[in-house]
Amino acid sequence: MEIIIYGIVNSVTLALMALGFTLVYGVSRLPNFAHGALYVLTGYIAWQLLHSLGVPYFFSGVLALAAVGGVGALMYHFILERIRGMAISEIIASYAIGLAILEGLRWAGLKGGTFILKPFIEGSINLAGVSVDYQRILAVVLGAALVGFLWLFVNQTRLGLALKGMAQDERAAMTLGIDSDRMAVVAMTLGSICAGVAALVLLPLGSIIVESGYQVLVLAVAVCIVGGLGSWTGALLAAFVIGFAQILTVSYLGAHWQMVVALVAIILTLVLRPSGLFGKQKELEERV
């Protein structure tokens, strides 16, 4: 029973981490390797607002999200836009931005274990003999809500449909008058906010440390690759596959094999089926 409940919690956590990454990649084919840095940045801004400026909890969260959305948009507009389409350059540049943010934060004083955000709701509940924090249940609920919201947004609004069009065929979208760079900025903003939401929901469970930026990035990339880069359904499914695989490894094999399992999953997926579980088959683009 606990495997099922914690498997679900762990999977939704992974999905939350990966959502922003897959959104940006899906729309603008941009692997945003600064994703983890944006995650930590949100937590840090919220913490500073809350503790140094005394802004109420809710508003500091909203402000932090707005700030990170802005950072994402500026980052795209001023830097990444210039190297669109060169995948390796995009990876290196966005990783460099992430590195600059994370190490800059560390230099600015984000170190040690005392940066802790309060959970929204304290306490825990007993579900079928398994104790679960309210915050974790909230994470599952919010994760589902975020997915639902994004689905509605993409399928029901003009802006969302334009994004979807971009994702499907950029040239065709452009001939229909969709400004591809503006859409990419929108996607980047949304993706950054997704990273921020994940941070605000998940960081109260632990503490804000620089290392989690790197960890979130690796996990997000893992989920997206196993699911198929840019595929939403794939990412969700992969989050569950990896989430349960991790919990099962911890329960039956020992914790130190957890990361090994995730890494082997990536390597196997890439070698056997590079486009992932749900990626579109583009055999010739991926392998010879």
Partner 1 sequence: MAGHHEGMRKERLDRGIKVRSDGVYAVASWREMAFLVTPRLVLILGLLVLPLAFVQAPYWQKVLSIICIYSLLAIGFDFLAHFVGLVSLGGALYIGVGAYLAAILNTELGLPVWATIPLATVLGGAICTLLLWPCLPLRGVYFAIVSLMFPLLAARIIEALDIFGGTDGIIGVGGFPNVWVEQYLLVICLLLILFGLRRLVNEDVGLVFRGVKDNDQAVKASGINITTFKALGVFIAASLGCLGGAILAHIYNWAGISQFALDFSIIPIAATVVGGGGTLVGPVIGCLLLVPISELLRDFGTLRIAVYAIILMAFIVFKSEGLTSFGARKYNQTERWVEI
Partner 2 sequence: MVALSMLALILPAGGALAAKPIILGCPLSTAFLYGWDAERGIKLAVEEINAAGGVKVGKEKRPLQVEVIDTRDLEAGVPVSEALLAVEKLILQKKANFIVGGPVRSEAALAAMALLSKHKMISILSTGVLTPKYHALVAKDYAKFKYLFRISGEVVWMLKGELIPALTAVGKKFNLDRLYIMVQDVAHARAVGKIMGDAMAKKGWKVVGNTVYPTGTTDFSMGLVKAKKENAQVLLITMDMPESAVLLKQWYDMKLPALPFGTILAAAEQPGFWKATEGKGQYTLASVVNAGNTPSNATPWTMKFVNAYQKKYGLEPEGYGTSSSYMAVYVLKDAIERAGSLNSDKVVAALEKTDMMGVYGRIRFDPKSHQIIPDIDPKKGAVGTIFQWQQGKRVVVFPPSIATGQILLPPWMKK
Binding site for partner 1 (CB under 8 A): 31, 79, 82-83, 87-89, 91-93, 95-97, 99-100, 103-104, 106-107, 218, 221, 225, 254, 256-257, 259-260, 263-264, 266-267, 270-271, 274, 285-288
E strands within 108-235?
A: 124-127, 130-133
Tell me how many degrees the CA angle 240-22-15 measures, rounded to the nearest 5. Answer: 25
6 close to 133: Cβ distance less than 8 angstroms: no
Burial of 276 (0-12, 13-18, 19+ CB in 10 A): buried
81 Cα distance to chain centroid: 21
Q: Which is nearer to partner 1, 196 or 228 (CB)?
A: 228
Q: Which is nearer to partner 1, 91 or 130 (CB)?
A: 91
Q: How far is the CB of 107 from partner 2 (least distance, A)?
A: 8
Spatial CB neighbours of 160, under 8 Å, sequence gap ≥ 6: 152, 153, 154
Q: How far is the CB of 282 from partner 2 (least distance, A)?
A: 32
Residues lying near partner 2 in the complex (CB under 8 A) are found at 2, 6, 9, 106, 111-116, 118, 122-124, 130-133, 136, 202, 205-207, 209, 211-212, 214-215, 250, 254-256, 258-259
Q: How far is the CB of 209 from partner 2 (least distance, A)?
A: 6
128 close to 5: Cβ distance less than 8 angstroms: yes
The three-state secondary structure class of 35 is helix
Residue 159 binds which one of partner 1, partner 2, none, with CB within 5 to 8 A depending on kind? none
Residue 92 binds which one of partner 1, partner 2, none, with CB within 5 to 8 A depending on kind? partner 1
Check residue 130 and report its DSSP letter: E
Q: How far is the CB of 267 from partner 1 (least distance, A)?
A: 5
